[in-house]
Structure formats: C-alpha cells, structure tokens
Amino acid sequence: MQLNRRQSKRLGIYIHIPFCRQKCAYCDFYSYPPHDERIYESYVDAVISHMKSYKSVGADYSPDTVYIGGGTPTCLPSDEVLRLIRGIRSSFRIQKDAEFSMECNPATVDYDTLRRYRRAGVNRLSIGMQSSNEGELRALGRIHTLREVRDTVRAAREAKFTNINLDLMYGIPYQTMQSWDETLHRAVALKPEHISLYNLKLEEGTPLYKNASNYVFPDDETEFAMYTRAISYLASCGYRQYEISNFARPGYECRHNLKYWKCEEYLGFGPSAHSYFADVRFSFKKSVSNYIKSVRGVTNDEMTDDYEQIPLRERVGEYIMLRMRLCEGIDPREFFRTFGKDFESLFGSKLMRYVKGGFVDVSNGTYRFTPSGMFVSNYILSDVLDFDADGNFVI
C-alpha cells in the first residue's frame, strides 16, 4: 500500500487485540475466545512485524496517543503485552507525555500485572464495568462481578494509575431507573477520572439479538430518562460532558478518541482495525489467520478491507457527523477555514427546524446538540445531510 507522507507531528496508534475470555451476549466487535493460546504469541509477532513495516511511513510522526483495545487486551499473557509495548516503541517515536491507554476487563488482571503495565508506560486504564447489578451483568454475559470491578480499580490505583475510565451501559434487560441510579452512584464512588456511557443496541447475530424475545428491555422513554439522568448526575459530581457519551473530570478527556471525532490522523493495527492517514481511510479484514499470514509474507493489500481516498464532499460529511458528537459543536468560521464553504448556507435552514424543536442550540454562532438532540443525533444528522443512492454524502 502506498501512502503519501505528510509533515505532521501528531498521530494516534491503535492496536486491536481480537481475543476475549468469553464472548459477551451483546457484542459484535471482532473478538473471540481462542481454542489454542499459542495464537497469542503468533498474533503479537504479526502486529510487531506489521508496525515495523510502517517505520519509514511513520518517521515524520511522533505519536501522542496509543490505544490498545479490543477485544480484551488483558486476556494476553502479560509478557506478550510487554513485548507488544516494546514493539510499539521500537517502530514509533512515542511522545514523552503521550496518553497511553489500555482496555481492561475486570477479572482478567491483578495488581502485579497492572504494575508491570504502568511501569512499561501505560498511563490510562479503561475498565469495562457496564453495570453494578449482578443480574444485569449476567444478562449481558459479562464474566465479572461488581466486587471484581472494585478490586480492579483498587489494584489499578495501587499500581499508580491516575487516569481511569469506567464504561457503563444503559438499556440492559430488566434495568430500571433505580438500578441505573445505583450503577451511576457506585461508579462515581470509585472516583474514576472518566466515564463512558453506552446505549445497548441489539446487534444482529449476537445471542442477545437471537433471544431478545425472552427479555424485557427498558422502553425508549426510559432509556432517554436514563441518559438525561446520567448527564445531570455526572455534572453534579464534577464530570463535564464533552461528547455524546463521554464525561471527564477537567483535563482527563480521552485524547485518543478526540482524534477520531476531530478527523485527526491515526494508524490502526490488527484485524478490523481502522486507520485514517494522509486523507486515506483503510481497515483490515476481520480474520486473525488472514492477518498473520499476510504479515508473514503476502502484500498488505490482501489484508485490507477498504481503502479509499476521501473526496472533499465525504470529508465534509464526516466532519459534520463527528464534530456534532462533541459538545463544542461546529463553529461555521472554522468550517469555512477548513473547507472554504459556508456552513450556514449549506445546512442552516435544515438545522433551524431542530433549533426550534429544542434539539440544537446556537450560541456564539456555534451549532451544538442539546441533550435531547444528542439522544436522537443519528436521526437528525441523517435528515440534515444528503446522501446519494450509494450512501455517499453529497453537497
């Protein structure tokens, strides 16, 4: 694959670990429990070799964020994780103050392991808590209990992690406002620096989707009440909402994820990982064996799923969809500086309908969603933006 080099310093690095101890009932991410654990070593070998092949491409860059996600990175033996981290550092000049995140499932780590990761430079831990209710955790097929979440956070603090995210989920079978309140209170009591919310969606092909008729789910109204309750409660506890689903204490916004929403460059490694680099988007096929074989000797193209140069009109569409996720919204002046186009003449009249309905707020000339707008943001954006028959954005 030929990429045009571009002089720039900042870059995000994402590494996908496609393994989990057990598949959760709702999950359609590319990950699976391996039959043979020898795959871990071969996989880490492949990712390290793959990163090395980008060494010259990345020479002009100094990554300021690294994110090891999945899957469950903490499924890997800790020696493999440490080898992976050394591999990242030998292929890229990671900035000294880089944000270095790792996802972690409770019940897959202990103090010693976390201490080793912290010493290796991981400085942000994202823990999948999801719920504090044991029945809800079971319905989701999670492998851990609330107690294990607490133990993991305690171990992480002892291991000197000062930047911890907790993932929480609403819309879970049998979840009530009361159990959601408990989850929020118990999460905040653990004093994380960052909280991410996920609205459970039934993804086709997952066990939860297949068995949905056996469960009772909160209705849309309750889900909306859960979302707005979280916004007001987290605000009262000092968490500033900066994105539709993300809340942080001041200074702890996730720098890596902000790159996605601000259309900044990042390189992803591993099957299903996406990249955006030099105005090109590409991703790798969802197959560990194909990935390993390709890295071992076949060309990059055989592992690539999509590869597209993003035309201006597509970049405009992406910019709007991603920027509107952020609470800072869209400033038409910045839009003009970026694309040389007048935001208000393109979208102003369509957005005005939603301004009148209380879904979009315009202040200081900037357009941003209100909490009600955020909850139905996909609907609003698909109405405001125009797409052709192939699903491409048109202006």
Residues that bind ligand SF4 (CB under 6 A): 20, 23-24, 27, 29, 31, 70-72, 105, 128
Measured distance CA(194)–CA(166) in Å, rounded: 7
Q: How far is the CB of 70 from ligand SF4 (least distance, A)?
A: 6
Q: Which is nearer to ligand SF4, 135 or 207 (CB)?
A: 207
Measured distance CA(291)–CA(256) in Å, rounded: 24
Measured distance CA(58)–CA(74) in Å, rounded: 27
Q: How far is the CB of 142 from ligand SF4 (least distance, A)?
A: 7
Q: How far is the CB of 130 from ligand SF4 (least distance, A)?
A: 8
Q: How far is the CB of 29 from ligand SF4 (least distance, A)?
A: 4
Enumerate the β-bridge partners of residue 367. Answer: 330, 362
Measured distance CA(211)–CA(374) in Å, rounded: 29
Q: Which is nearer to ligand SF4, 105 or 294 (CB)?
A: 105
Q: Which is nearer to ligand SF4, 91 or 105 (CB)?
A: 105
Q: Which is nearer to ligand SF4, 31 or 163 (CB)?
A: 31
Please, where are the H alpha helices in the chain? 39-52, 78-91, 111-119, 134-140, 146-158, 177-189, 207-210, 220-236, 255-261, 288-297, 312-323, 332-339, 343, 349-356, 371-375, 377-384
Q: How far is the CB of 39 from ligand SF4 (least distance, A)?
A: 16
Instruction: Check residue 347 and report its DSSP letter.
Output: I
Q: Which is nearer to ligand SF4, 104 or 234 (CB)?
A: 104
**114, two tokens:** 């976390």
Enumerate the β-bridge partners of residue 16. Answer: 69
Residue found by looking up tokens 């955006």 in the block: 276
Q: How far is the CB of 272 from ligand SF4 (least distance, A)?
A: 11
Q: Which is nearer to ligand SF4, 23 or 157 (CB)?
A: 23
